[in-house]
Amino acid sequence: MSAPQIHKLADVQSDKIGAGTRIWQFCVVFPQAEIGENCNICANALIENDVKIGNNVTVKSGVQLWDGVRVEDNVFIGPNATFTNDLFPRSKVYPQKFERTILKRGCSIGANATILAGTTIGENAMVGAGAVVTKDVPANAVVIGNPAKIMVKSTPPPTVK
- What residue ranges do the domains of the chain occupy? 1-161
For the chain, the average pLDDT equals 95
Which CATH number does 1-161 carry? Answer: 2.160.10.10
Query: How much is the pTM?
Result: 0.94
Three-state secondary-structure class, residue 155? coil
pLDDT of residue 152: 83
Summarised one tens digit per residue, pLDDT across range 32-66 is 999 999 999 999 999 999 999 999 999 999 999 99
Summarised one tens digit per residue, pLDDT across range 51-109 is 999 999 999 999 999 999 999 999 999 999 999 999 999 999 999 999 999 999 999 99
What is the β-pairing status of strands 5-6 and 22-23? Answer: parallel
Other Cβ atoms less than 10 A from the Cβ of 160: the count is 9
Other Cβ atoms less than 10 A from the Cβ of 81: the count is 25
Show the DSSP H helices in the chain as ranges. none
Summarised one tens digit per residue, pLDDT across range 111-155 is 999 999 999 999 999 999 999 999 999 999 999 999 999 998 776
